[in-house]
Structure 1
């Protein structure tokens, strides 16, 4: 089950990427993240790991499985019967801005059940994250 939110941001993808890839700062621009603690150093890269705390959800460790610097990253968390895949895409717009798409997919033998159980919460979180990212990026220009 995939859920997503899309937002257009009036800054170039490079500026969006600076905010989006600085995962430890997420709690400063979205109420859906209490904290992010990187488990490695340096810029976000393939196999980077982070522990995330979010309201109403258990603490979760994510591992970056795909990364295109300046454009997108995907990270995955696994739990008993559930695999959560979160993708973050920043695509340039013709007018100089950026279209961001945030998506979450639940899979595994419990994935569809968990996806349905958390559907409303996930929709709200994705919308809040997209809106918060837009505000943060556009304030910094």
Structure 2
């Protein structure tokens, strides 16, 4: 199963990267995350982990598998029968704007049933995150 949301933000890539990688502050700008805690100090790099609690979903630990500052990162979480990959891409546009692409892809034996059961929720959460990120980055 694959879910994707795209939005344009009136801020440069460095600003969006700074907000997006400050994972512990996500609950301030999106209701899709109840709490977020980095499991080690320092910048978000390959190997970094974070524990996210989201309404109606089980708590998950996410491990960064790709990082390309300030253009995006990808992380992976695993649950029995499901591997979930979240991609956060920042694409520079003209006049200090960016396009942000948020993608969640599930694979594994139970990905189909889990995706069908929670697909609407996941899609809604991605939309919430994109809109919250846009508002947060465009604030002066």
Residue of structure 1 equivalent to 2:82: 82
Q: For residue 96 of structure 1, report the CA deviation from its aligned partner.
A: 2.0
1-structure distance, mates of 2:115, 2:66: 22
Counterpart of 2:28 in structure 1 is 28
Q: Which runs of 5+ in 1 are unaligned?
A: none
Partner of 2:102: 102
Deviations 1:14-37 (A, max 9, x none): 100000011110000000001111
Q: Who is 2:38 aligned against?
A: 38
How do 1:8-27 and structure 2 match up within 5 A? 8-27=8-27
In the superposition, the TM-score normalised over structure 1's length comes to 0.97
Q: CA deviation at 1:95?
A: 2.7
User: What secondary structure sits across from 1:19 in the alignment?
Assistant: helix
Aligned positions, number: 140
Deviation by residue 1:43-66 (Cα, 9 ceiling, x = unmatched): 101000110000000100010001
Counterpart-to-counterpart distance in 2, 1:95 and 1:4: 25
Task: Kindly report the root-mean-square deviation, in angstroms, between the aligned alpha carbons of the 2 structures.
Answer: 0.7
Q: Which residue of 1 is the match for residue 51 of structure 2?
A: 51
Runs of 5+ consecutive residues of structure 2 not aligned to the other structure: none
Q: Does 1:128 align with 2:139?
A: no
Shift of 1:112: 1.6
What stretches of structure 1 move > 2 A for 4+ residues in a row? none
1:116 paired with 2:116, answer: yes
Q: Report the 3-state secondary structure (helix = DSSP H, G, I; strand = E; otherwise coil) of the residue aligned with 1:65.
A: strand
SS at match of 2:67: strand
